[in-house]
Structure formats: C-alpha cells, structure tokens
Structure 1
Amino acid sequence: MVEIKEIWTKKTLIGLGLGQFLSLLVTSTGFTSSELARKGINAPTSQSFLNYVLLAVVYGGVMLYQRPALKAKWYYYLLLALVDVEANFLVVKAYQYTSLTSVMLLDCWAIPCVLLLTWIFLKTKYRFKKITGVVICIIGVVMVVFSDVHANDRAAGGSNPVKGDLIVIAGATLYAVSNVSEEFLVKNADRTELMSFLGFFGAIISAIQIAILERGELKSIQWSAGAIAPFLGFAIAMFLFYSLVPILLKTNGSAMFNLSLLTSDMWAVVIRIFAYHEKVDWLYFLAFATTAVGLVIYSMREKDRKEQDSAEVADEEEAGGSLGGGRAIAETSTKV
C-alpha cells in the first residue's frame, strides 16, 4: 500500500501525463523537420524563429499588462536564449544528414549531462531508486537500437550519418545546459518572465543568424502549401512545448523531463503504425513498456533520512499519547 501511494500521487500523475504530452510534441516537431529535410529545405534557425516570436508576443504581452518587477537579471535570459537557439539549430540541422530515429535516440545523451549539471549546480541528490529508474529508461531506448526497424531506418536515412550523429550529440549537450538553466530560473524567478525574455532574445538571435546563414536558402524556397504547413506545424508544436516545459521542470525537475522525452521515438512508431500502416518490430513495444516502468520508478517519492527519523519519532510520540511532543515534531517537520 505504501508503494502504491508513493506511485499514484497527484504530482506523479501530472508529471507522467505532462511528460508524455511533451514527448508527443517532440515527435511532431521531429516529423515536420524530417518532412522539410525531405523537401530539400535547409533552414533550421528559420524553423525556430516563429516559435520565439510567439513566445515574445504572448508572454511579453502578459508582462507588459501586469508590469511585474524582474526577478532575475536580463543577461541570464540572454545567455539562455543563445544556448537554446544554437541547440535547436544543431538538432534540426542534423535531420539534413541522419535519420529521424537516430536524432531521437542520440538525444538521450542529454540525460547524463542533466544529471551531472543538476548534481553540481542545483545540488540535486539522486538516490538508488532514481538511478534505477534512469537505467531502466535507457535500457528501453537501447532495445530500440537492436530492432530491425531501427536498423532499416538508419540505413535508409541521411547523407552523412556520422556527421549528423555528432551534431545531435552537440545539440543534446546544449539542450542539457538549457534545461538545467530553465529549471533554476523557473524555480527562482517567474515562468512568464522566463518565457517572454527567452522569446524576445531568442527571436533577436535567430533573426541575426538567419540574416547571416539562411537568407539565400529562404529566397530559393518555393513557398507552396506543402512548404508552409510544416513550418507552421513546427512553430505551433514548439510554442506549446516551450509553454509547458517550465511546469514540468518546476514540479518534477529537468531529469524527469528528459527521461519523459525518451518515449518520443516510440510515439513516432505508433504514429507510423496508425497513419502509414507500417509493420514494426515487437521490440519497440517492449522498449516502450520498459521506459514507462523506468519513468514510474523514477517518479516514486523517496523519503530522506530526516523525514524517516521524524516519522519514526512521531509514531513513538503518538503511541505514548504525548501532545506536546507531537506538536514539537510537527514544527520540526515543517522546518525540514
């Protein structure tokens, strides 16, 4: 009963559900990016530009209306925006060289980076149960690597898989820095402030990068409905993704966020099954189930030693009928 209560808490359910919705959004951005790459459109920064504009307009408008005092220095958001823009640039760029599945799998490199960064800078402690959940999640992803579907996908996709994989790893590292920074800011500043400044500085940096790197590419694109639709779909999915990420970061942390995204590859397979009627290897389903189990284990709450000691003393005081002792323990628990 104790274990069930630890799993099915409100925080856990929200974290798992929101994490999977974000994973679906990542899958949709992957499909739109892959579709643009197949059409020969190579404009990774331009794809993200509209998302930053939407963030700046929507959340910036809220800030202008409320006029709150800033809770963090503006240059923190500038540095965050720079890292975030380049992370998006690198990962979207990788679709020009490697396959959709490779990008999604190699994105898991962000997980050990996040664990290391949160441990160093946010002083996050990962006990045995958390580490076990992480390992099980990664095992689920490794299963996909050995499936026949994945092997065929890698063989068929990309003009330079090695180059594309290295670009993904670089982008995943920057994503880890961005996620941990966002977790710190959303817990110590304000979500609306974070989104508005990230959108504002992200749009400026993206516009400069587009003018330098992608102006010629944009002029050469034949802007038909087939080209516009993936751009808009990518922007809308990214806007929803960016809007919801801070909620998960604040409640469950950046490690849980990155673990949730591991299922994006599995969701891509589900979409292929129902939308394109493709047959997939059974190992995909086992991988999805394994990753889901790892997420649940990671989400389970672990009591630290102080909480356990307080609970044991509280039980002893309750058994002895000491009202004053119980009150003191309650005060101690509140302070902890």
Structure 2
Amino acid sequence: MNVLVTGAAGFIGYHLCRYLLARGDQVLGIDNLNDYYDVNLKLARLKELEEGAGCERFRFIKLDVSDKAAMEQLFREGDFQRVVHLAAQAGVRYSLENPDAYISANIVGFMNVLEGCRHHSIEHLVYASSSSVYGANETLPFSERDNVDHPLSLYAATKKSNELMAHTYSSLYRLPTTGLRFFTVYGPWGRPDMALFLFTRNILAGEPIDVFNQGNHRRDFTYVDDIVEGVVRTLDDAAAPDAKWSGSDPDPSTSFAPWRVFNLGHGEPVELMTYIRTIERIVGRKAKINLLPMQPGDVPETAASVKALEAAVHYRPETGVEEGIERFVSWYRQFYGV
C-alpha cells in the first residue's frame, strides 16, 4: 500500500514506518520536528529510516499538521490509500503548562487530516487516541464500552475530541476511521519524557528519580512492537458499520457509521515499584527514589481490556515487561554509549 504516516520521526511513528517498509509498503512520513524533546533523537530515527531496509520506498517531508495549506497540498499531490495519524502534542503534565500547543496540534491538526482524508477518498484512517480518555473512570480493566465523559487533562480532552470528530466524518462522509487508545508505550527509541527513559538515565547517572503518587501507580505498560502490530492489523482491516448497533442502546465503541475505537494495551498492569525494581536489576544499580504526591491530571491506575481488538483482528501482545525493559536498556546503552 501507499501509506501516509504523520509523526513519523516520533517514537511509535518510527517503529511503524520500519514495519511498513519491511513488508513492502510505500511510506511517506511527515513530522514538524518540534523541540518538545531532543530533536537529535528524532533526526537519528529518521536517519535509520532513510538508510535502513526499504529506504528506497520511504520519503520524508518536514511538515506541521496544523498548517492547513501545507496539508491540503500534501493530500492533493500524494496518492495515499491509507493514513496513520500519530502526530500530536504528547504529555499529560505538559498540557498544564502549554495548553495552546494541544489545541493547535491535536485539534486543528486532526481537523486537517480529516479534511484531507475526506476529499481524497482515503480507504481507512487509523489515529492515535489514548488511555487518558478514561479519566476519572475507576472501573478496571478499562473497556471501550465505558463512559469517557470525565477527562482529567486537556491532553485527554483533545484525544476524546478526536474520537468525536472522527465519528462525525465517518457518519457524514462514510470515511472509515479507527481510533486506538494506546496504553503507556515503552521500548527502544522511546521518548525522553517517559518513565522508562527517565528512570534508566538517572539510575545510570547516579541521580534520583521522581516517583509520583508515592510509588502507588499501576500502569498497563505496552511494548512498542505490540503497539505497532495492533496498529498494522487495524490498518489492514478497514472500519465498517456495525450492523448490530442500535440508537436505543448505543455501543460507545462502534457505530452505524464506519467508525470504531479499540484499546491497545498489554492487558496486564504492573506496579510502578515493580517496574522500577526490574530496571534496577537489568541496569545493575539501585535507584535513589524521590517519592512525590500525585500530579494534576494523573490517574492512579490503568488497565486495558483488549478483548475487542483480539476478536476483531486477532491481536495478542507478546512482549513481557522484563524482556521489553532489557531491550530498551540495551538500546539506551548502545545509543548513548553508557
């Protein structure tokens, strides 16, 4: 296929592009290369894509999804069959400091993607949502049938907005869309603002690590290869109307339109302190732990029910936390020479 991947220089975008190129797809990647975290890491990911296997089928354009004119030109000149939209302003805590960035990237940018897909007969749009949409929901594991009307951060609110916007376009224009609610993704080439990266870096440097909620968090840590497998399986299986859907008893995860949302997680939440002890064991050093209170916008626990995705596309996560952390630490040591 000819696939457009937004956010191609990002953590998940990089791994997804590698997968698509390895199986023979044509990939056009776009990214604005902003400085939310180290741009050099993003450039290193791009270099891998531009020089690695299948590189002759990869093309990159530096482009901001919030730039309407540039996005219109991109879709007009491209010949995409399917689109994976991963570009977004990430981070729950950063949304408290710079809310404008989330409206620009996550709302305006997503609108531009939807318009491009609408006007150019895209076969299927798959986009990144987030486990953050579950907000104040305390029923575990989180199910796609759960209410998601109580977000706890602007980031979460923008992701729920994306799901609603996608439904509107699926309903009005019969655009097949699938939203994937990612659960705490980790692995090689990961983001420097994420826990595994921060913990590994500081433990190796002999510096303390900040552990919020007094270490009482539980997270559904999901290895990046499993995430990419779920993305590709849904990309290949375009959303279709649910013949069983009823307006008198509406299923929040499907629709009369070609629209759906899925959880994409591991399905086995891990205590944060267990996660940290695993990092210590693999790194070979003890962490200096700075226990802190819960941060605004955080939730104490996430856990994904992945039954719907398994039933739809036979998704099944394969990488456990210990193996995933070992792979990350190995990459980190090699990449940073420590």
User: What TM-score comes out, normalization by structure 2 length?
Assistant: 0.25
Identify, as 1 or 2, the structure richer in strand. Answer: 2
**TM-score, with length taken from structure 1:** 0.25
Between structures 1 and 2, the one with greater helix share: 1
Where relative contact order (Cα < 8 A, 6+ residues apart) is larger, the structure is 1
